[in-house]
Amino acid sequence: MANSSRNGRREVGSVTRRPNGRYWARITCGTRVDGRRRTVSKTFDTEREADAWLTAMSIELGRDPNASRGITLTAVWQAYRTDRKGSLARNTLASYANHMDLAWLPALGARDVSSITAAEVQDLLSSMTGSNARHAKAALSAVLSWAVKRDLLAANPLHGHRFEYPAQGGSMDFDEDPFAAIERSRDVWDIDTAMKCFELIRGLPLEPAWLCCVGAGLRVEEALALRRMDVRRVEVGGRPVTQLAVHAARTGADGRKATKTRQSVRIVAMLEPFGARYWEIASGISDKTQVVCPVSAANQNKRWRGYFARPSASKHAPRKEGCNYLGWLASLPYLPLAKMRNTHVTIMAEAGVSDSINALMHGHTEMVERRHYLSPDMTRAVADVSDRLRLVI
């Protein structure tokens, strides 16, 4: 912190504590036409936030390509966090803060941000686990890209570099059963497993959300936000189809909010029989503003894990909330509820739906679709082509 006084000038701008306990930050940003100084100001809950905003504003107002000389990654991160607070989802910002605090700041925080290289980032990524490394890299890249937009860096040093990540959940054992090892790494259910779940999950609190994820490819937070008025049953070519109006999300940190991106606002048709079952649930709700899935967004992940847990053999095990559903899906291979979106993408691709249409259905770009969600079983496609060849021969 540039100055530890409660009220006073920093190296850049000033911070004053108000009678209500909040902090008023002010910085000069040039002169008016009449010659008077022009200032910008903002009020914060803490002195630390006010100081971080002053740093961000001094960087923003300077617009000097060489200004990053001497500015550390820690300073850039503090400015980024202050600037993005309120516009970035709380969960996302909290995740970035976790990765910055645990992975990047201890190793690179005191470094001049312009001197950070992809090679040393790769060295640090190699010491992490697979999934953690990918998320940590994404957090650092977001901060560096923000610095580029503010002319602090000529380019993000991580862009254009192909990073290697540790194997997901450890290395795969190809010596015992190579087919099983590869199948476990796909993080997706096939249609047969999905249909087994369709029967087992009936009546469970998270059933509506699961139906939307596997039957329409929705994000979990989108599925939790759907209300009765967001569901309708229409006829298309003489066949009944359940449609979902996706325009909001519901998370434990932010509550009800806007969707992740503008492309995420869309109308989605559900696969059958998932659509018919979802309509059966939704049509039984009289209040059109009521959410279809009643589970709290704050504990949905814990609830979902509980469905796959093995119930205790003790007769006197405590009957906590949700214990009456403990282990109902234990016969199925566990996948996070968020991965059911991958299953829908893959089913649609195997049915011949193009990547571009698939991407529109899921509210993101075609590149994201291929990189993060698509995991098809090529065996069925090969079998179909083989059948066609036999007819020709």
Query: Closest Cα partner for 213 from 263, 254, 260, 270?
Result: 270
For position 185, what pLDDT does the model report?
A: 53
For position 1, what pLDDT does the model report?
A: 36
Distances (CA, A) of 319 to 170, 274, 308, 316: 35, 31, 17, 9
Contact 270, 347 (CB under 8 A): no
Q: Which two tokens stand for residue 152?
A: 């602090």
Residue 279 pLDDT greater than 60, yes or no: yes
For position 87, what pLDDT does the model report?
A: 79
Q: What is the rounded distance in angstroms from the CA atom of residue 26 to the CA atom of residue 28? A: 7
Q: What is the rounded distance in angstroms from the CA atom of residue 373 to the CA atom of residue 376? A: 9
The DSSP call for residue 373 is I
Domain with CATH 1.10.443.10 in the chain: 191-374
Domain with CATH 1.10.150 in the chain: 8-149
Number of other residues whose CB lies within 10 A of the CB of residue 40: 15
For position 2, what pLDDT does the model report?
A: 38
Residue 72 pLDDT greater than 50, yes or no: yes
Query: Could you report the per-residue pLDDT of 372-389, keeping only the tens digit for each?
Result: 444 444 445 444 544 554
Domain 191-374 belongs to what topology? hpI Integrase; Chain A (1.10.443)
Query: Could you report the per-residue pLDDT of 349-375, keeping only the tens digit for each?
Result: 665 554 555 455 555 444 444 444 444
pTM of the full structure = 0.60
Contact 363, 260 (CB under 8 A): yes
For position 70, what pLDDT does the model report?
A: 59
Higher pLDDT, 126 or 260: 126
Residue 179 exposed, middle or buried by CB count within 10 Å (0-12, 13-18, 19+):
exposed
Q: What is the rounded distance in angstroms from the CA atom of residue 316 to the CA atom of residue 150? A: 61
Domain 8-149 belongs to what topology? DNA polymerase; domain 1 (1.10.150)
